Chains A and B, each alone.
With several copies, the nearest count.
Chain A
């Protein structure tokens, strides 16, 4: 019985105390007709040696491709200390810090996280995490609709330059409440939303405008103009951003005259391994005045009986366990351990470290772009400024090229053929600081081969 400590003697003593003949008797309130036939379709147990052998065999089949893809998940170096500390039992096996006095480790760390993340976003405050970037955007949309007192609309403007899967997730979540997402087109030449194309929306009432930065193509949106336009038309502005980029790119809090109202996105670039897409974490930050509309856990600083500083879950009246059907969200368990890793990551990197990581990634992407566009049949697709991720146009369908690259050991980017058919044979590629010049050269070479 793995992990069950009872000796036969213990079991007997306990049954005696209960006054039960056997364990079976403890289930006597379950109607006989419902009793199950057991779990025969589950294989028999393995000891740790056997399961280790099994999993290592499985893992051995899955040698990762050398990654030149981004599209929402970014391979950055993670200092060894991050996960060695994060998986310490005291972090790994604790739960939501309901008993604050016995959870100051987690609570103080989350308070530090809130500080770091709100600064990164240029916003007043952050919560303690949501599930992932896509669902964070959905929560941001719901939050904006609750928060926008000036608008009664249940419609939100969202450019198609937002990650296609984010748009799907948002729709899947908010459509249940009858909220409508109205998609904004982008300029297929420059690859960004054109502010002068927005006049058509000025007549109707929208609760919010979503702005991605960088957008799904890696391009930089004209966030200042877009933000001011939205505010002029009584919309709230939701920035959905790559937090690593925010080390050097203007964060939502600095957009336009007043800054965005809500910032959200995917926290993965900050110390979380790619790991087949999860667990990652969503972040959300906002202005002080929206705090009571915030979903999820929030940690606050307070004092103990002796007047010493301490940290607690606060504003719980927003949450499901108190507010139930009137809560700001149904979220309960969030992605605490991921935020633990991110906080440690940010402390180890410092401002300088995340800035350099962002810049180095961008510089590498520039280098790759230069090499790729030197290949016949490859062009840069858009004219807008981009950041560490960029779209290239091929003279042939992207899918077979990606397949050839995979055979050569590369994850060569993300084909836009399905989600952006209007772009033809286009591919979004990304390089991070993890790639050496040599690796970039080799990839460019393999790319040229694949195009032949």
Chain B
């Protein structure tokens, strides 16, 4: 039932009604709202019960193994949430003077330092509110850099064909043309193809390394040199930083700019789709352009750097400091793990992925890049299964839900047919992974024995397989039921 279907026009929750109704006599009626807003009229119990029950219909890290590739669904320590929600943090208006927020500013400043160390970059700004906005900031800085040099002919951004969709979309948002680079059979960027397209029109390249194929591009140095020699800059999509923490640093690989997804590597919650946080780190040459506000420190006093102190900055991308509360969570997480803990993240994320990959190969699954090490994730392709049984990667994904496992990422990267991108993360136990392997094997067996069962999955969830096509064809994007339930009068 929708909350609106439990509503009654003149029911209201008195505990949440401030004061008596007050006339707005000073506001001319032309400015007044005509139609009352259609919010539900429910009791507090109805609301609490409704959303509690709704929540139970979700799979989540706290309830299920969630090996969604490229998303790093690791444990979100509860302490990070509890501490970040300290009332002294939550109660701060963004206009609060820095002198009244030294505790908070110190956390943000130290987080910037931690991220510098983790990435090997010269400076880090916390401003972007998610990975894609981090990408935006990065590419905007690339543009600002070229512009500042009067180098205005550079109109293209290069992206591997396996890149995350936000990469080309970001390049477009920054006014660039996107040129795709194919991936070689070994999973690394096709160097020849790259050579063919890099040139004076190249503003930069956006790379993910480990790539979205779950392998570390071994030619990264060559790529960097090629692009740099052509006058382009290197953008590092840091979504996969979890795999290399403490092992190799984007700065050392020659990257000029990077974004980090705190909601992945630094374990802030994914929240059913955000909020995230996508700090950007820059090399020396992009330093002048880094977005503000940033936390800075002078003689033990913390303060904000703004447009005033950073006149060449690409400026702010948020009305305030970005997703502050998420930064706090990431900071707390980083402090709990500390240097040793953060280094071990990559170790165990990689161990889990390689173990899972090897075990699946033993069980007869085909991986996309069998000759390669997995990083923190890897790709299984089910094209043989699909050919032989008609059961697709989507069907397998849905059937896994019945076994109590969230599905891996499906159909990404787009270049691998019928693929599952699997990322177990370091916080899952061997037992959990073994259980997942057993489930995948069972589903495969079912695909041969009883393909209909798999194709019609899921069978045990709150709803059966949903009709996406109908959703897009017969658009229904808001409830328009009996208005009488929510309108007064």
**In the complex, what residues of A have CB within 8 A of residue B322's CB?**
277-278
B292 → chain A closest CB, angstroms: 10
- B102 → A minimal CB distance (Å): 5
Q: Which residues of A contact B45 (CB under 8 A)?
A: 3, 5
Whether B73 and A306, one on each chain, are in contact in the complex, defined by CB atoms closer than 8 angstroms, is no
Given contacts A125-B478, A321-B165, A325-B178, A90 and B58 within 8 Å (CB-CB)? yes
Q: How far is the CB of A48 from chain B (nearest CB, A)?
A: 5
On whether A85 and B55 interact (CB within 8 A), knowing A4-B348, A325-B169, A363-B22, the answer reads yes
Q: With both chains docked as a complex, state the minimum distance between the C-beta of B188 and any C-beta of chain A, in angstroms.
A: 10
Q: A334-B274, A349-B39 are in contact. Are A79 and B79 (CB under 8 A)?
A: yes
User: Do A347 and B14 have beta carbons less than 8 Å apart?
Assistant: no
Q: How far apart are the CA atoms of A9 and B165 in the complex, in Å? A: 40
Q: In the bound complex, do residue A304 and residue B273 qualify as a contact, i.e. CB atoms below 8 Å apart?
A: no
Q: Which residues of B are found within 8 Å of A112, using beta-carbon distances?
A: 2-4, 479
Whether B56 and A90, one on each chain, are in contact in the complex, defined by CB atoms closer than 8 angstroms, is: yes
Knowing A298-B477, A332-B166, A347-B42, say if A249 contacts B33 (CB, 8 Å).
yes
Task: Give the residues in chain B near A58, CB-CB below 8 Å.
Answer: 103-104, 106-107
Contact with A along B87-118 (1 / 0, CB 8 A): 11111111111011111101100000110111
Q: Do A56 and B113 touch across chains, with their CB atoms under 8 A apart?
A: no
> Counting CB contacts under 8 A, is B270 at the interface?
yes
Within the complex, which residue of B131, B218, B345 is in contact with A332, where a contact is CB–CB below 8 Å?
Answer: B131
The answer to whether A206 has its CB under 8 Å from any CB of chain B is no
* Residues from chain B with Cβ under 8 Å of A55 in the complex: 83, 86, 107, 332
A380 to chain B, nearest CB (A): 12
Tell me the bound Cα distance from A53 to B245 in angstroms: 27
B75 on interface, CB distance cutoff 8 Å: yes
Residue A106 interfacial (CB < 8 Å): yes
Main SS class of interface, B: loop
Q: B36 and A351: CB pair below 8 A?
A: yes
Query: B401 — which chain A residues lie within 8 A by C-beta?
Result: 99, 101-102
> A359 near B21 (CB under 8 angstroms)?
yes
Residue of B nearest to A23 (CB): B347
A273 touches B91 (CB 8 A): yes
Indicate whether B143 reaches chain A with its CB closer than 8 angstroms: yes
Contact check, B477 vs A114: say whether CB atoms are below 8 A apart.
yes
Binary interface profile of B, 403-429, with partner A (CB < 8 Å = 1, else 0)?
A: 000110110100000000000001111
Proximity bits, B339-354, A CB within 8 Å = 1, else 0: 1111111111011101
Q: Which residues of chain B are near A4, meaning CB under 8 Å?
A: 43, 344-345, 348, 426-427
A interface residues, how many (CB within 8 angstroms): 208
The reply to whether the CB of B133 lies closer than 8 angstroms to some CB of chain A is yes
Q: Is A15 an interface residue (CB 8 A)?
A: yes
- On whether the beta carbons of B463 and A165 are closer than 8 Å, the reply is no
| B173:A387 contact, CB within 8 angstroms | no
User: Do B117 and A41 touch (CB < 8 A)?
Assistant: yes
Please judge, given known A-B contacts A111-B479, A115-B479, whether A92 and B269 are in contact too, CB under 8 Å. yes
Q: Give the CA-CA distance A387 to B26 in the complex, in Å.
A: 10
Is B27's CB under 8 angstroms from A387's CB? yes
B76 at the A/B interface (Cβ < 8 Å)?
yes
**Size of the chain B interface, CB-CB below 8 angstroms:** 214
Q: Which of A47, A246, A306 contacts B15 (CB 8 A)?
A: A47
- Stretch of A173-181, A183-191, A193-201, A226-234 that contacts chain B: A173-181
Give the contacting residue for B263; candidates A28, A131, A224, A333; CB below 8 A. A333
B18 and A26 form a contact (CB under 8 A)? no
- Is A182 located at the chain interface by the 8 A CB criterion? no
**Cβ contacts under 8 Å, A38 to chain B:** 246, 339, 343
Bound CA span A87–B52, Å: 11
Which residues of chain B have C-beta atoms less than 8 A from A354's C-beta? Answer: 37, 39
A310 within 8 A of B: yes
Taking the complex as formed, is A421 at the interface, i.e. its CB lies under 8 A from any CB of chain B?
no
Within 8 A of B (CB), among A5-56: 5-11, 13-15, 17-20, 23, 26-31, 33-36, 38-49, 51-52, 54-56
Partner of A115, one of B38, B44, B337, B338: B38
Q: A73-B320, A172-B317 are in contact. Are A95 and B16 (CB under 8 A)?
A: no
Contact with B along A189-226 (1 / 0, CB 8 A): 00000000000000000000000000000001001100
* Complexed CA–CA distance, A354 and B74 (Å): 26
Interface centre among A2, A6, A40, A72, by most B CB within 10 Å? A2
What B residues does A93 contact at CB under 8 A? 60-62, 73, 76, 269-270
> Contacts A65-B93, A165-B319, A338-B275; is A330 near B169 (CB within 8 Å)?
yes
Contact across chains for B169 and A220 when beta carbons are under 8 A apart: no
- Check if B160 is an interface residue, CB within 8 A of chain A: no
B279 within 8 A of A: no
A5 B11 Cβ-Cβ under 8 A: yes
B50 within 8 A of A: yes
- On whether the beta carbons of B118 and A39 are closer than 8 Å, the reply is yes
In the complex, A452 has a CB within 8 A of chain B: no
B411 to A: closest C-beta gap in Å: 9
Question: Which residue in A42, A48, A124, A171 is a CB contact (below 8 Å) of B338?
Answer: A42
A335-367 interface bits toward B, Cβ cutoff 8 Å, 1 = contact, 0 = none:
111101001101111111111110110110010
Residue from B37, B56, B351 in contact with A14 in the complex, judged by beta carbons closer than 8 Å: B351
Q: Are A89 and B52 in contact (CB under 8 A)?
A: yes
- Nearest CB in chain B: distance from A83 CB, A: 7
Complex CA gap A421/B439 in Å reads 67
Contacts between chains A and B (CB distance < 8 A), count: 751
Quick one: given A23-B350, A42-B117, are A18 and B355 in contact (CB under 8 Å)?
yes
Q: Which residues of A contact B46 (CB under 8 A)?
A: 5
Query: Is the pair B17, A47 in contact by a Cβ cutoff of 8 Å?
Result: yes
A314 interfacial by beta-carbon distance below 8 Å = yes
Indicate with 1 or 0, residue by residue over B385-399, a CB within 8 angstroms of chain A CB atoms. Answer: 000000000000110
Find the A residue at minimum CB distance from B374.
A26
Name the residue of chain A whose CB is nearest to the CB of B73: A95
B169 pairs with A327, CB closer than 8 A? yes
* CB of B195 closer than 8 Å to a CB of A: no
Contact of B22 among A7, A304, A360 (CB under 8 A): A360
> Which of B40, B48, B50, B428 is A350 in contact with, Cβ under 8 Å?
B40
What is the 8 Å Cβ interface bit string for chain B, positions 456-489, against chain A (1 contact, 0 not)?
Answer: 1010011111111011101111110000001010
Binary CB contact string for chain B from 287 to 306 against chain A (1 if under 8 A, 0 otherwise): 00001000000000000000
- B1-26 CB mask vs A (1 if < 8 Å, else 0) is 01110001111111111110111101
Chain A residues with Cβ under 8 A from B27's Cβ?
220, 248-249, 362, 385, 387
> Are B478 and A360 in contact, with the CB atoms below 8 A?
no
Chain B residues in 8 Å Cβ range of A302 = 466-468, 470-471, 474, 476
Structural contact, A348 and B44, CB atoms closer than 8 A: yes
Contacts of A79-126 to chain B: CB distance below 8 A? 79-81, 83-85, 87-106, 108-112, 114-116, 118-120, 122, 124-126
* A438 interface hit (Cβ, 8 Å): no
Given that A39-B246, A90-B58, A278-B321 are contacting pairs, would A19 and B358 also be in contact in the complex, using a CB cutoff of 8 Å?
yes
Q: Does B175 contact A (CB under 8 A)?
A: yes
A3 engages B77 (CB within 8 Å): yes
A102-B461, A126-B478, A131-B133 provided; 14 other pairs, C-beta below 8 A? A3-B43, A3-B45, A18-B358, A52-B79, A88-B55, A101-B458, A111-B477, A135-B318, A169-B317, A176-B140, A177-B174, A351-B488, A354-B37, A387-B31
23 A-B interface contacts by CB (under 8 A): A5-B427, A14-B355, A14-B430, A35-B248, A39-B246, A42-B342, A67-B91, A96-B270, A96-B272, A101-B462, A111-B479, A115-B4, A116-B39, A168-B307, A168-B316, A250-B30, A300-B472, A315-B475, A322-B165, A335-B275, A347-B47, A351-B488, A359-B21
Leading 5 A-B pairs by shortest Cβ distance: A277-B320, A45-B338, A89-B62, A337-B271, A277-B94
